[in-house]
Structure 1
Amino acid sequence: MIIGTAGHIDHGKTALVRALTGIDGDRLKEEKARGITIDLGFAYLPVPDGPTLGFVDVPGHERFVHTMVAGAGGIDFALLVVAADDGIMPQTREHLAIIDLLGIRHGLVALTKADLATPDRLRAVPAEITAALDGTSLAGADILPVSAHTGQGIDALRARLAATARTLTGERAAAEASAFRLSVDRAFTLSGVGVVVTGTVLSGRVRVGDGVTVSPSGLPARVRSLHAQNRVAEEGRAGDRCALNLAGPDITKGALHRGDMVLAPALHAPTDRIDASLRLLPREAGAKPLGQWFPVRLHHAAAEVGARVVLLADEALAGGEATQVQLVLERPIAAAVGDRYVIRDVSAQHTLGGGRFLDLRPPPRRRRTAERVAQRAALALAEPAAALAALLAVPPYAVDLAAFVRDHALPADRAETLASDLDLVVLEQGDSRTALSADHWAAFLAQLTERLTAYHAENPDLQGMGREKLRLSVLPRLPAPLFAVAVQRAVAQGLVALDGAFIRLSGHTVRLAPEDEAAWAALAPLLGGEVRFRPPRVRDIATDTGRAETEVRRILKLASRMGWADQVAHDHFFLRDTVREMVALAVDVAVQAPDGTFVAASFRDRMDNGRKVAIQILDFFDRHGITLRRGDLRRINPHRLDLFGPPMVL
């Protein structure tokens, strides 16, 4: 259990930790000379037959409140220190507000310097403290009189902390089941050891030999050794104070900073834009409301970064109000949905408020639409499974499951558990795994077949409906690449069939009139064989066969509708099998190219074709999205390789 001290300067926080543990939390020479804590101090207390208690001794001076926030980000238990002779002071209230904003629910009050107070004072101060705690996360917390000088109450406080640590094991089990994250508050080099970072394990477990990533920089590292709760260990777990000895090609003391996050590689996805809940603290009379794009200092775990508050409502915020906002950061940070944060003013004089992160990938525009409001309401649910279920019930009814699991700092295997527990349909596309509820997937398939049924009734002589037209007419409206995956799933289920750029019901067939079928049977051989890559033009076919050019063009267009041929240019029709073959040749040319891009000449040479016809074919591919062109270079779009036949692998 990590215990964080909090309270006004000179109220005896460091002396109390020393009395409890025998360890002096003031580690800096300047701290000892001035008699105040400037940076975070750490001490440990082994408990017989129980866990080791870790103490984070934080500064009380108002100039160092930002350091206090860094220390409070990973604590389980708040030890609010109030001197009996002074009582509640300004920094006591600010530290208490930060504890409340960070959602720390476990704690008690140590009434220090009890030996210096009169009996009347010892009776009066607890009432003052109780009033200050009212309405906060520490409301109703016990108040224990202690004296670090005489030892009064120290044994009782120590026993109380040990007993509480044993009761918190259940809460820590949930955090241990998440993916690994450690908030870095110090980085240094030890002779003969190398680079070491210290911090609190926010979630998950880490073992010696594990590969990790330093975020937001993205530096890969390996854990060479570790200390947990000031002891050599093979494993560190959620709630432990850990020191990690990191090794890696780019791991140096200068490359690591307070505020970094050492985490499981799959979690590395820093963000500089976050939707969040926000509760403002009551403000002084006459203080300006918090308006649009208000500048603040954002504190998250051990990170501190400049940010702007984007209001998601029209009215400026007065003190004591709660709302949802978008935070636009000056630089990216590593975070997770559900993390707590605090904002202070840019002068570092006042704590303004805080809340929870809701969405790490919000849109920069259309923030206030009904759709976004519904999405934020879903993401505000604390339980991931409930949040995912609620998110799938609102537009766009589809969620990137891999990103959801990552942003909630869940282990990768939780994706399968969530999909199973919620009976989700998962569409896989590269590294992305998009989930839909079973109901919305069924609705998607029903609309798909309904639209195609109506289209076939209105157009019995056409082989199917254009992909993009069908995509835009079906809900949920999926992005084009994902729609292609969904259609492939529908094909596998036997509901629909692909016919070039068209989609049809699997049972739909189109037949030409007998005379048109006979005409096509006569014309088709002219487009195949050795001349298939450079078939004769429409006018040449008309001349060779003695048919009218308009008649030849009509028959070829009918064949194109049937999916037997494709009109590559105004005067050039190719057999469908030939088009499929040319796509394969273009893929092979791209594969052979060092960077995957190729010019028209390479394609022309591979087909042994004329430049003009090769350009016509490539333009046809461009129009259908098979190739993506930039200047004279083209590359293959792997998402469209199923357009003229079974999917190809690039």
Structure 2
Amino acid sequence: MDETYYTIGMAGHIDHGKTTLTKALTNVDTDRLKEEKERSISIEAGYAPLHTEDGTHVSIVDVPGHERFIRQMIAGVAGIDLVVLVVAADEGVMPQTKEHLEILQFLGIKRCLVAVTKIDRVDEELQEFVGSDIKEALSGTIFSEAEMVFVDSVSGKGVEELRSAIFSALKQVEFRDRFGSFRLPIDQVFTVQGQGTIVRGTIYEGVIRQGSSLTVLPAGKKVRARNIQVHHENVQEARAGQRTAVNITGADREQINRGDVLVASNHFLVSKTIDVAVRLVDDMEHPIKQRAPIKLHIGTSEVMGKIVFFDRNEAQTAQDEILCQLRLEEEVVVRRGDRFIIRRPTPVETIGGGWVIDPKGEKYRFGTETTNMLEQKKVGTPEDLIAAALNEHTLLNEQQIIQNTSLDNAVVMAALNSGIQSKRFIPAGKKFVLTSTFEKGKKTIEEFVVNYQLQHPMRPGVNKAELRQSFLDTFPRPFIDFVITEMLEQGIVKQQEQYLSTADFRQHLPPRWKARLEEIIDQLKEDGLQVRKWEEYFVGTPLPEAIAGELKSFLLQTGQAYALTDDMIIDQQVFLEAVKKLRKMTNETFGLQDVKGAWDVSRKYMIPLLELLDQWGWTTREEGNRRWLHSENG
């Protein structure tokens, strides 16, 4: 069975014991910064592995509790599967506790445990009072039924009960999709001497492997994963849900920022205008006016922008979602369904949160026409929901589509048929793919093949297995094979043995070295039957070392030369002329002396040349001599 990976978060008011509780559970002190040690508060989110008996991999995120560090808190809980809300028994629910609760709900965190800490400081009566206070604070939220565990992190009382409650709750969590396109929002960037640039974050979806080709968005910087670590241990791959550090090559520390996203495909949109569904907090002090400045927190990004309403000029409280738009000052990486928080820059407060309806919004007019359009986008037709699922997973069969959309079987079949007729979807065997994804994959593969041909014009094309391997971090293998098959049928590419090339491609000498290589080919012809070792033809030339092997393979594959030995080849025309001469000067059966008389070469060349004759089926050995198998050669 596949291993599962989860990330859980410790949230709550400052000094309520999150860090101490994390250490009690994991034996890891997550306060790593000097300032944190001195001030006894968490500034940056800390991470620790929680070991389980059944092999489930869990990371605990200890997020900051102080109001001034709310930005780090939001980045820390983005991507967690379960939250442990920490409330100190000697203080109870505090303002920061309530704000964290709001943020957790806006970010779509569905499962929560409550850890009441520092119980050794209060008597049982006060513990009961705090428990009632917490239940009241949770009433009306999605966490109203959250299990409550009373602990003391110093003495260890209740810690094992909390650990068991965590494992039990995680069994109810649907773990993240490791088959989706890899995405890791970056929350830490630093350098290690001798290693280079390190980025760290929690993998939202997909898999990263050592050596993977990646892109840093929104800048589009191409990098490669040199090394991967999960909780300080080197691994070959990391999956969705894991807290991961990636040592990358191709970018300096200064070229990457917190909030950037590491991806392995071009499935992700970069946008400055996003259509959203927003819910506001219940007790906002000041109304939000049309085009008011806001600070958006999405993934690990923090971006300034403004909120644009289409059905009102201001908002203060709203029971329902407000369909509106965020216009940002910087690009962010988003997908439909991504959760976010918005805050007011001044006075600083959390305004609300919501989810992305359309990552690539446009400018719309104020009025009901726009709100109706956004409502339709929000709900989505069955085709839209199927398209969203296919966009995320690339290839799905009918059953998988039903699972991912929660649509009825008959509705799915009707929507698929409609989408195929409108050319929105393409059948791929028993699965389906978006036409746009197929076209993107076709274009990407064709560009790869063309670039390969430009770099290696003397080769017959790119090895199919090599091409497939190059895209495994971007597309699933069945999709790659489907696209290649379709491209072959459409005549976009052709296949020669295991090699793929564009339909009009012919192996040829690289223009840059053409004159020099033609000189070598001429020298090979001039040497006739007594050729030199192949590498000797390149001595004293400015040609790159690798090109000797390339030219040799090119001449053999195109039939311009034959292999005489491992390190010698002979020109085709020279050899054919020699065969004609030998045929004319010998009888049906002939010996070595006959060959020497015709070719005037030493045994060094004579034996390989005769073996080449046998290899091509012109002659056969017979009692120490050779016999011609054809009345005419060639």
Identify which of 93, 96, 102 aligns with 1:88. 93
AA aligned to 2:330 is R
Q: Equivalent residue for 1:358?
A: 357
Identify which of 157, 160, 169 aligns with 2:165. 160
How much has 1:52 moved relative to structure 2? 2.1
- What do residues 301-330 of structure 1 show as CA deviations (whole Å, max 9, x unaligned)? 111010100012125212244311100001
C-alpha change, 1:161 and 1:348, in structure 2 (3 Å) is: farther
CA contact (8 A) 2:63 2:72 kept: yes
CA contact (8 A) 1:5 1:56 kept: yes
Identify which of 306, 309, 312 aligns with 2:310. 312
AA aligned to 2:275 is D
AA aligned to 1:355 is G
Identify which of 416, 424, 435 aligns with 1:422. 416
Question: Does residue 124 in structure 1 map to residue 124 in structure 2?
Answer: no
Question: Does residue 413 in structure 1 map to residue 413 in structure 2?
Answer: no
Deviating beyond 3 angstroms after TM superposition, the runs of 4 or more aligned structure 1 residues are 366-370, 372-375, 411-421, 426-429, 431-435
How much has 1:180 moved relative to structure 2? 1.2
What does 1:109-508 align with in structure 2 at a 5 Å threshold? 109-168=114-173, 171-172=174-175, 175-248=177-250, 251-284=251-284, 287-321=285-319, 322-347=321-346, 349-366=348-365, 368=367, 370=369, 372-381=370-379, 387=381, 389=383, 410-413=392-395, 422-423=416-417, 424=419, 425=421, 427=423, 433=435
Identify which of 40, 65, 85 aligns with 1:35. 40
CA contact (8 A) 1:295 1:345 kept: yes
Q: Return the alpha-carbon distance in structure 2 between the equivalents of residues 136 and 158 of structure 1.
A: 24
How much has 1:116 moved relative to structure 2? 0.3
Q: Return the alpha-carbon distance in structure 2 between the equivalents of residues 374 and 92 of structure 1.
A: 37
Q: Equivalent residue for 1:529?
A: none
How much has 1:391 moved relative to structure 2? 7.7
CA contact (8 A) 2:214 2:223 kept: yes
Q: Return the alpha-carbon distance in structure 2 between the equivalents of residues 245 and 415 of structure 1.
A: 36
How much has 1:163 moved relative to structure 2? 2.9
Q: Return the alpha-carbon distance in structure 2 between the equivalents of residues 293 and 254 of structure 1.
A: 33
How much has 1:67 moved relative to structure 2? 0.9
AA aligned to 1:172 is F
C-alpha change, 1:432 and 1:97, in structure 2 (3 Å) is: closer
Other structure's SS at 1:104 match: coil
More divergent stretch after superposition (189-198 vs 123-132): 189-198
Q: Equivalent residue for 2:54?
A: 49
CA contact (8 A) 1:7 1:95 kept: yes
Other structure's SS at 1:202 match: coil
What does 1:486-635 align with in structure 2 at a 5 Å threshold? none
Other structure's SS at 2:68 match: helix
Other structure's SS at 1:96 match: helix
Q: Return the alpha-carbon distance in structure 2 between the equivalents of residues 374 and 177 of structure 1.
A: 34
Give the percent of matched residue pairs that are identical in Structure 1 and Structure 2. Answer: 36
Aligned CA RMSD, in angstroms, stands at 2.6
Structure 2: give runs of 5+ residues left out of the alignment.
Answer: 1-5, 402-411, 426-432, 438-634
AA aligned to 2:258 is R
Structure 1: give runs of 5+ residues left out of the alignment.
Answer: 393-400, 436-650
- What do residues 201-241 of structure 1 show as CA deviations (whole Å, max 9, x unaligned)? 11112112221111111111111221235432222111111
CA contact (8 A) 1:205 1:238 kept: yes
How much has 1:165 moved relative to structure 2? 2.8
How much has 1:291 moved relative to structure 2? 1.5
- What do residues 184-204 of structure 1 show as CA deviations (whole Å, max 9, x unaligned)? 100111223221111011111
CA contact (8 A) 1:53 1:162 kept: no
AA aligned to 2:160 is D
AA aligned to 1:296 is I
C-alpha change, 1:160 and 1:405, in structure 2 (3 Å) is: closer
Q: Equivalent residue for 2:465?
A: none
- What do residues 588-646 of structure 1 show as CA deviations (whole Å, max 9, x unaligned)? xxxxxxxxxxxxxxxxxxxxxxxxxxxxxxxxxxxxxxxxxxxxxxxxxxxxxxxxxxx
AA aligned to 1:257 is N
Q: Equivalent residue for 1:71?
A: 76
Other structure's SS at 1:266 match: coil
Q: Return the alpha-carbon distance in structure 1 between the equivalents of residues 14 and 242 of structure 2.
A: 27
Q: Return the alpha-carbon distance in structure 2 between the equivalents of residues 94 and 102 of structure 1.
A: 12
CA contact (8 A) 1:62 1:349 kept: no
How much has 1:387 moved relative to structure 2? 4.7
AA aligned to 1:31 is E
AA aligned to 1:9 is I
CA contact (8 A) 2:182 2:205 kept: yes
Other structure's SS at 2:289 match: coil
CA contact (8 A) 2:113 2:166 kept: no
- What do residues 143-167 of structure 1 show as CA deviations (whole Å, max 9, x unaligned)? 1110011111011111222233344
C-alpha change, 1:87 and 1:355, in structure 2 (3 Å) is: same
C-alpha change, 1:391 and 1:160, in structure 2 (3 Å) is: closer
AA aligned to 1:53 is V
Q: Return the alpha-carbon distance in structure 2 between the equivalents of residues 11 and 353 of structure 1.
A: 25
Other structure's SS at 1:306 match: strand
Q: Return the alpha-carbon distance in structure 1 between the equivalents of residues 384 and 21 of structure 2.
A: 47
- What do residues 303-358 of structure 1 show as CA deviations (whole Å, max 9, x unaligned)? 10101000121252122443111000010001111010001110373111000000
Other structure's SS at 1:246 match: strand
CA contact (8 A) 2:311 2:371 kept: no
How much has 1:369 moved relative to structure 2? 5.6
- What do residues 471-518 of structure 1 show as CA deviations (whole Å, max 9, x unaligned)? xxxxxxxxxxxxxxxxxxxxxxxxxxxxxxxxxxxxxxxxxxxxxxxx
